[in-house]
Amino acid sequence: MLICIPEVLSKAEVADFRRIMDAAEWEDGRSTAGSQSAMVKRNEQLPPNGEVARHLGGRIVKALLANPLFVSAAIPLHIFPPLFNRYGEGHHFGIHVDNAVRGDPATGMRIRTDLSVTLFLAEPDAYDGGELVAEDYYGSQEVKLAAGDLVLYPASSLHMVTPVTRGTRVASFFWLQSMVRSPQGRSLIYDLDTAIQGLVTELGRDHAEVVRLTGIYHNLIRTWAEI
């Protein structure tokens, strides 16, 4: 399940992020890649344990946890500290699968990477190429979103970033461990929640059938949640 979530950050917030990031020192992006990924990765990133990445990453996590659509789709248990990358002309990230487990040396956090996240921090017309291409049940999907928008997709999927041929692609990327391990379970819960929210708009939150379906929603999470 690939889900796009709009306006996680406002345009003003994106501009502030870029002001801070553009003044920072960047390093070779291969420093956080696994052995397989390092062979196909060509980009730059902010030092993961640096003050800039940690500060901006904390702001992203705060925004995500206040976003109902993100919480509904991800059912997050642990969110890995967000990282930041930059692709200039000729940079790319070839086809790969993300590591199954990620560890953060600064905090000792270790998570199972159920979902991968890309938060776009450059407008689509600021660069050519740089599409995120991910494989899912319906085939290959290309994603290139507005600055401040986010895409959530299974970390188990084959994916890549196509070569940038003009301009600069800037983004935050990270992973999360969901309370619900099964992709099918997360998809069902998300579809149910989406249907409930539609009924709330139509019938009201206190309608008997809405209350009943809400109970089913929570009982499914109670059945499948790993915490």
**Shared-domain flag, residues 108 and 196:** no
pTM (2 decimals)? Answer: 0.92
CATH number of the domain bearing residue 64: 2.60.120.620
**Shared-domain flag, residues 47 and 138:** yes
**Shared-domain flag, residues 34 and 144:** yes
Share of the chain above pLDDT 70, in %: 96
Give Cα separations from 176 to 36, 76, 80, 101 (angstroms): 21, 7, 6, 10
Share of the chain above pLDDT 90, in %: 88
In angstroms, the CA 27 to CA 41 distance is: 13
**Shared-domain flag, residues 143 and 107:** yes
* pLDDT exceeds 70 at position 33: no
Model confidence over 140-176: pLDDT tens digits? 999 999 999 999 999 999 999 999 999 999 999 999 9
**Shared-domain flag, residues 169 and 100:** yes
Domain total for the chain? 2
**Shared-domain flag, residues 64 and 134:** yes
Type of residue numbered 114: D
Q: Which pLDDT value is given to residue 32?
A: 65
**Shared-domain flag, residues 17 and 59:** yes
**Shared-domain flag, residues 127 and 214:** no
Q: Which pLDDT value is given to residue 138?
A: 73
* pLDDT exceeds 70 at position 34: no
**Shared-domain flag, residues 102 and 130:** yes
User: Mean of the per-residue pLDDT values for the chain?
Assistant: 94
**Shared-domain flag, residues 201 and 173:** no
List Cβ<8 Å contacts ≥24 apart for 109-112: 109/78, 109/80, 109/81, 111/78, 111/80, 111/175, 111/176, 111/177, 112/177, 112/181
**Shared-domain flag, residues 168 and 64:** yes
Model confidence over 97-143: pLDDT tens digits? 999 999 998 888 899 999 999 999 999 999 999 999 998 777 899 99
Two tokens, residue 138: 């319906």
Alpha-carbon dihedral 155, 158, 159, 160, rounded to 10 degrees? 130
How many other C-beta atoms can be found within 10 angstroms of the C-beta atom of residue 35?
A: 7
Q: Which pLDDT value is given to residue 38?
A: 61
DSSP string, the chain: --EEE--SS-HHHHHHHHHHHHTS--EEGGGG--HHHHTTEE-EE--TTSHHHHHHHHHHHHHHHT-HHHHHHH-EEEEPPPEEEEE-TT-EEEEE---SEEEETTTTEEEE--EEEEEE-S-GGGEEE--EEEEETTEEEEE---TT-EEEEETTS-EEEPPEEEE-EEEEEEEEEESS--HHHHHHHHHHHHHHHHHHHHH-TTSHHHHHHHHHHHHHHHHH---
* pLDDT exceeds 70 at position 19: yes
Q: Domain range holding 206?
A: 183-224
